[in-house]
Amino acid sequence: MQTLLCAVLALALADPKPAAPDFIDVVQSNFNRWDLNKNGVISPEEVDRLVVEPSVKGDEAAAIGAIKTTLRLGYPVPRMTLDYFQSAAAKPKASSDSSGEQRPELRMWGGPDWNKGFAVARKRINDPNRDLFRTATVDLKQFKQGMLGDCYFVAMIGALVNKQHDAVRKMITVQRNGDLKVAFADNETIVISPLTDAEIATSSTTGEEGTWVAVFEKAFGTLRQAQFPEDHKEGVASDAIAFGGTMLTTIRVLTGHDSEEFAIKSSVQKSGNGDYKFQLRAQPQELTRMTRDKLKPAIQKKKLVGAGTYPEALPPGIANRHAYAIIGYEQQGDQVVIWNPHGNTFKPKGPPGLENGYPTEFGIFKVPMKDFVQIFGALEIELDVSATTTGVRSGKTSGGK
């Protein structure tokens, strides 16, 4: 009994688990080393070099990941001197209202929340589930788009996963030296180095199911750099796909097939201010029929199908200027089954529909066809036609730059 009491007492007196450092602690410890040209400023180019540097690990990589993500998101960050980071760290945190939403009027200094970004990056890096794959197959509940602006890419990866659960596993091969070979269409392969901690922090996530989505993003970005070296000189490969693209591009890369765009809405320029408004290109009932006639055979043939939204007001829970995967059609109820690569969960505050939105779990939701044509602007549908003439690297298969 005395031995047990001593053991309990020893545990009680043991040093507590050290607290996680703040972002500024890591910056102050590493700033001089990060400043590669010793000019007192951390440049975006220096950040890129640190993101891909394998020796940058742990909390240091989390801080670099937070900086990289912030720059990608377009925050108005001034010259990144040590004085700037220290000043930003001293600013009061943004307050929230009772709903938990930040109140813009209380973010007077207008800067990013460095500690929040650091915490997110740190959590990803410290995730013990960093194997390439952790299950024999994957499904849409296991991954989602991260901070890259590559919804067009992740959406079509989701369509491929829905079509064939083991497809992505077959596309990635680990080499003896640890490098990763990713096989795209037309037997085109890209070999990439293993992901660094900072690359993991700044890529899309598979939750607890490995790092394969981030590998695809790095490989796709590397492919774009190889295809168009004059246009893509980014220091971080995933930057080549981070700022938008087309579902056509991704369908060609993943399947080697061409695709067809089907326009649901057309744009009309507003007079005077140069903005656009969007309108259905046919009467609603006729357009509903036309859209159904396009979608049903494509879904039955297990073709990759995507849908895009335009910059206009949409039902709650549905993002504009965003790409979605079409993963099913249900005859009963005449409903389209859709996957949002954000992997979001949403509960309507009222009856489901155009006014309140649609119940969503893991990004998956259903929309009646009559509502579908009111929400989405265009479809991209895989065809049986090969898009290949001289291979992926020519740019023919992979679409535009």
Q: CATH no. for residue 371?
A: 3.90.70.10
Domain boundary among 222, 246, 270: 246
Q: Note whether residue 222 is domain-resident.
A: yes
Q: Which domain holds residue 62?
A: 19-90+114-126
Q: pLDDT for 184-205, tens place per residue? A: 887 788 999 999 999 988 886 6
Please give the Cα distance from 107 to 132 (Å, whole number).
39
Does 54 lie in the same domain as 121? yes
pLDDT per position as a tens digit, 14-71: 555 567 789 999 999 999 999 999 999 999 999 999 999 999 999 999 999 999 999 8
Domain ends where: 195, 215, 246?
A: 246
Same domain, 265 and 324: yes
Residue 186: per-residue pLDDT: 74
Higher pLDDT, 356 or 135: 356
- On whether residue 342 sits in a domain, the answer given is yes
Residue 172 lies in a domain: yes
Residues 269 and 284: their CA atoms lie apart, in Å, by: 21
Q: Are 66 and 118 in contact (CB under 8 A)?
A: yes
Mean local confidence (pLDDT), 287-310 = 96
Domain count, the chain: 3
In a domain, 10, yes or no: no
pLDDT per residue as tens digits for the range 223-272: 888 877 887 777 888 888 777 788 998 999 999 999 999 999 988 766 66
Distances in whole angstroms, Cα of residue 397 to Cα of each of 71, 97, 223, 250, 272: 31, 49, 12, 9, 40
- Residues linked to residue 173 through DSSP beta bridges, in sequence order: 181
Percent pLDDT > 90 in the chain is 51
β-bridge partners, 183: 189
Relative orientation angle of helices 247-255 and 151-163, to the nearest 10 degrees: 40
Q: Write down the pLDDT at residue 16.
A: 58
Higher pLDDT, 129 or 384: 384
Closest CA to 365 of 334, 332, 340, 333: 340
The number of beta carbons lying within 10 Å of the beta carbon of residue 239 is 21
Question: CB-side exposure of 105: number of CA atoms within 13 Å?
Answer: 1
Residue 109, SS3 per DSSP = coil
pLDDT at 239: 82
Mean pLDDT of 319-330: 95
339 and 277, same structural domain? yes
Question: Each residue of 78-112: pLDDT tens digit?
Answer: 999 999 999 887 755 444 433 333 333 333 335 68
φ, ψ for residue 30 (rounded to 5)? Answer: -120, -5
Q: Band the pLDDT of 126: cuts 50, 70, 90.
A: confident
pLDDT of amino acid 304: 97
Determine the Cα–Cα distance for residues 269 and 190; give it in Å rounded to an integer: 42
Instruction: For residue 41, tell me if it sits in a domain.
Output: yes
Q: Identify whether 107 is part of a domain.
A: no
Burial of 322 (0-12, 13-18, 19+ CB in 10 A): buried
16 vs 11, 19, 21, 156, CA distance in Å?
A: 10, 9, 15, 46
